[in-house]
Structures are given as C-alpha cells and as structure tokens.
Amino acid sequence: MTGLGIDTSRTAADAWKTYMDLYNKKTLVRRLNAETKLRNIFLTANGDFPAHITLLRKKLIHARSVGAEISDGNFAAIVLNSLSSTWDSIVAIVFKHDSSSEIIAKLHVWWLRVYKNRNVNTSKGITAFYVSTSQHHNQNQLICTNPKCNQRGHMIDICYWQGKRKKGQFPPGFGKKEGEKGSV
C-alpha cells in the first residue's frame, strides 16, 4: 500500500484515515474536472442543437455522479451560456422560464425553425439579392426612346409622356419639388 501513499507502519486507523483523505481529494478533483468539462461545452453558430443538448445532459449526469451539486436552475444557465451570440435574441426571451426542460424545449423549437429556414432560404436569399441587384442595375441602363422623354430607367412602352401607352398617368406628385401641391 505504500505505492498508494499510505504508510502501513502505523495503525490501521491511521492508514484508513490517510486512504480516505486521498480518496476524498481525488473525488474533489474528479468533481471539479467534470464540472469544468460541462461548463466548457459550446455550440457553434451552425451546430446541431439536439446533439449539443444530449452531450450537455451526459456531462451533467457524469458531474452529478462524481458529487457535483448542479441544480436545475444552474443547468439552465449552463445551457444558455453554451450558446453562441447568434442565439442572443432567443436567450433573452427564454431566460425568464424556470426549468431547464422548458428552456431547452423552447430553444429546440427556435433552432428547428431557424435551421430549417437557413437551409431552405440561403440559396434563395442570395439569388433574390442577385436578381434584385441585377434588375436595379439593368433599369438604370434602360433609356426611353420617346423623343419627348429620353430619360433613363424605363422603356418607351411604359413611358408617361405624350404619345405613348401610359400618356399622362404620372405618379402623384411627379415633377413637383418637395412641399409643392397640385397635379402635373
């Protein structure tokens, strides 16, 4: 037993006390390590939320099994602290809830909606931006061929000036300086 740091030349009571002191110190170190590992788990911005929660719950069970006293409220705080800043808007909303299960359920619903939308709308968002930019850019390239107009931004078929299809259908306030009233 000398290899364990216990002096066997003394009484059995002394050996037992030394053993228990060493065991308790190792247990304290295990508890602290387990708590640290639990608190150092973070979800990346594009991470899998259900897998993240599963990992947190496993680490919580382990930490409690080695003596950590982590209440449900503390676990809820650990969950909220583990989320990246992209979650800040929802964290502010669910922070008021009491149980970690309720908080996790609300976060899970939010993640499903955001994650689903992120996968579906990412390419559409880029396409829509591109199309919108292209249309705006192309509109500025258009030059009306109506000799009474010759303005940029539209074609002759939608020209408001005399002699064309939309003749006289000017938008309200067209051609007026700021603050002026009346029609064209």
Q: How far, CA to CA in Å, does 124 sit from each of 114, 138, 162?
A: 15, 20, 40
121 falls within a domain: yes
36 falls within a domain: no
Position 126 pLDDT exceeds 50: no
Q: Are 62 and 34 in contact (CB under 8 A)?
A: yes
When pLDDT is averaged across residues 22-26 and rounded to a whole number, the result is 64
> pLDDT band at 61, cuts 50/70/90?
very high
Residue 122 has what pLDDT?
Answer: 45
89 falls within a domain: yes
Give me the number of domains the chain comprises. 1
Q: How far, CA to CA in Å, does 84 sit from each of 1, 46, 90, 152, 173?
A: 49, 9, 11, 47, 49
67 falls within a domain: yes
81 falls within a domain: yes
When pLDDT is averaged across residues 4-14 and rounded to a whole number, the result is 75
Q: Model pTM greater than 0.75?
A: no
Position 71 pLDDT exceeds 60: yes
95 falls within a domain: yes
> pLDDT band at 159, cuts 50/70/90?
confident
164 falls within a domain: no
Residue 168 has what pLDDT?
Answer: 63
13 falls within a domain: no
Residue 121 has what pLDDT?
Answer: 45
Please tell me which residue, 159 or 166, carries the higher pLDDT value: 159
Residue 125 has what pLDDT?
Answer: 42
Residue 120 has what pLDDT?
Answer: 46
Structural domain for 75, as ranges: 41-126
